[in-house]
Structure 1
């Protein structure tokens, strides 16, 4: 892995939080992701399942974590199964975790080779009454591919039909949403790497540069700082491309007089950052561009102040809609009649700001976290309002990542990344 090894105390704490919420005589199982094929003998780069990483730190394929806090044998209360390595694998694929390394990474004392899983697991299931299965219940999931976790669930249900079933996801939603200090430090590192990439761009962008050239500059900066690269597919949208919310082609020239909306950020140690900035191609905002830009910035700043313990996610978004409505009226994009006659299910402001303002961020860019209960300290949210005006071939979005505090306003992990229009102009024209 490119990142520095994470002290295993984080994963020890995370497992304890999970096990403290398990039912008596229950067992929980977490599988690594598959390596996904492209075609022929080509595969996608391996990405670890974030749940098993959160609980063990194991960043390797063909890995299984078992937690059984009520096991009669104390050695079986936490077990990590890893792929057995050998000289052939080491030559062709590189070194894999040894049993000693697996303990060092995870803090788990009992390590078995994966080939022993069925035998050990059968023995444990004779003691267990309930099994926690790990299904993807994220509110935005749209997965069609059968995963390694899915195959395990099918197999276990055939082998052990008499066991009760419980869900891991509600526990993960609760505990993963509130970040430990070590996680906040890793996320800050990801944001710091993102800052380096953005500052690099401010001296690089000029009329005629291609969107993909900007992407290449970011990749260089991110990987040079121990990141695998982008935390999510990069959006580098110049001119009217900014009005395509998930524009991914990044293949057009950036023209004089246009804005570039860049939703680009680095990962570090599997933790995401999520940044959006909008800058002028020629280094100077027009009067109208700056009016729209500053309107978005005001919404972002005012929305951020509402992210405090006790806030309800749904109510927060309603208030953000009111902030945006006020700004759109000021910009002449809406009039009072538009607001008075709006459809409550699709308010007038949605014509120019059609997505949400905030989401959880952490091991996933759209991370796990409770959304129907009051917000709590150490939850981390994005704040990302935008105004999209196809008729003016302009889109502006601004985004930072913030940590809810016990008291006062959130802590901005991206506070050092330039955002004021005047500062961006100054840095672009040095």
Structure 2
């Protein structure tokens, strides 16, 4: 791995938080993700199941974590199962965890090879009343392939039909929503790498450069700083392409007088940054571009201050919408008649600002969390308002990542240039 692993004490605390929420006499099982195929004999890069990683820090395929806190056999209360390596695997795929390395990384003392799983699981299940199984229950998930978890659920229920089955996902959403200090430090590294990439392209962008060249500059800086690369497919959108919210073609030339919207973030240690900046291709905003930019900047700052403990995301989004509504009136994009006649389910401001302002951030870019319960200190959110004007051929979005504190917030991207004057100064220095 390229990154510096987090200490085992984090994963020990995380497991304690999970088992405290399990019913008595329970066993919980979490599986690694599959290595997904592409075509022929090709495969995608492996990406660990985030719930498993959160609980043990093991970044390797074919891993299983078993937790049975009330098991009368103490050695079976925490068991980590690994793929056993051999000479062939070592030659073709490289090093795999040894039992000693896995114990040092996870803090789990009972490490076994995967071949022993069925025997151990059968013993633990016989001593348990409830079986907790994991699934992807993200509110926006579209699961079209059968996962390792899904296959395990089928076989488990066939073999043990009389046990009570419970869901791990709601518990994991609650736990992962509030970050530990080590996680915030890892997110800060991802944001700092993102900053390096952005500063690199500020001196690179000029009229005639292509979007894919800018993408390459980001990737170069990310990887040389021990990131696997982009946290998500980067959006490098010049001109009117910025009005396409998920534009990822990144194949056009950037022209004089256009704005360039870049939604990019670096990954580090499986944690993700999520940044958006909008800059003038020629290094100077036009008066109209600057007016729209400043409006988005004001909304971003006000929205950041509104993310406080006790607030719900739904109420927060409504309030941000009212702030944006006022800015759009000031820009002449909507008027009081539009507001008076608006559809309450699709307010007038949605014509120019059609997406949400914030989402959880962490091991997933759109991280799991409790979206319908009050915000808590320690949660990490993006703040990303935007104004998109297809008729004028440009859009502006600005996005920072913040940690909610008991009083105020910590901006993980506070060192990344965002004020218009600083952007122009850096591009023309």
TM-score (norm. length: structure 2): 0.99
1:381: Cα distance to partner? 0.4
Q: Is 2:64 the counterpart of 1:60?
A: no
1:182: Cα distance to partner? 0.3
1:2 matched residue in structure 2? 2
SS at match of 2:38: strand
Mapping 1:170-249, distance limit 5 Å: 170-249=170-249
2:24 matched residue in structure 1? 24
What do the CA deviations read for 1:175-222 (whole angstroms, capped 9, x no partner)? 100000000000000000000000001000000001000010011100
Counterpart CA distance in 1 for 2:314 and 2:199 is 34
TM-score (norm. length: structure 1): 0.99
1:342 matched residue in structure 2? 342
Counterpart CA distance in 1 for 2:88 and 2:136 is 35
What do the CA deviations read for 1:216-259 (whole angstroms, capped 9, x no partner)? 00111000001000001000000000010000100110011000
Q: Is 2:415 the counterpart of 1:424?
A: no
1:126: Cα distance to partner? 0.2
Counterpart CA distance in 1 for 2:302 and 2:154 is 48
1:87: Cα distance to partner? 1.4
1:88: Cα distance to partner? 1.2
Counterpart CA distance in 1 for 2:190 and 2:285 is 29
Mapping 1:30-429, distance limit 5 Å: 30-407=30-407, 409-429=408-428
SS at match of 1:250: coil
What do the CA deviations read for 1:143-172 (whole angstroms, capped 9, x no partner)? 111111110001101000001011101111
1:173: Cα distance to partner? 1.0
Counterpart CA distance in 1 for 2:146 and 2:311 is 36
Counterpart CA distance in 1 for 2:323 and 2:139 is 25
Counterpart CA distance in 2 for 1:118 and 1:249 is 46
Counterpart CA distance in 2 for 1:354 and 1:133 is 36
**Cα RMSD between the aligned structures?**
0.6
SS at match of 2:401: strand
Long gaps (5+) in structure 2:
none
Counterpart CA distance in 1 for 2:86 and 2:136 is 33
What do the CA deviations read for 1:102-136 (whole angstroms, capped 9, x no partner)? 10111100011011111111111000110111111
SS at match of 2:156: helix
Counterpart CA distance in 1 for 2:181 and 2:300 is 25
Structure 1: 4+ residue segments shifted above 4 A: none
Counterpart CA distance in 1 for 2:157 and 2:197 is 48
SS at match of 1:38: coil
Counterpart CA distance in 1 for 2:268 and 2:17 is 23
1:399: Cα distance to partner? 0.2
1:5: Cα distance to partner? 2.1
Counterpart CA distance in 1 for 2:126 and 2:250 is 55
SS at match of 2:69: coil
Counterpart CA distance in 2 for 1:107 and 1:255 is 54
What do the CA deviations read for 1:58-80 (whole angstroms, capped 9, x no partner)? 10000000100001111111110
SS at match of 1:39: coil
Counterpart CA distance in 1 for 2:6 and 2:69 is 24
SS at match of 1:138: coil
SS at match of 1:185: helix
Counterpart CA distance in 2 for 1:149 and 1:260 is 41
SS at match of 1:42: coil
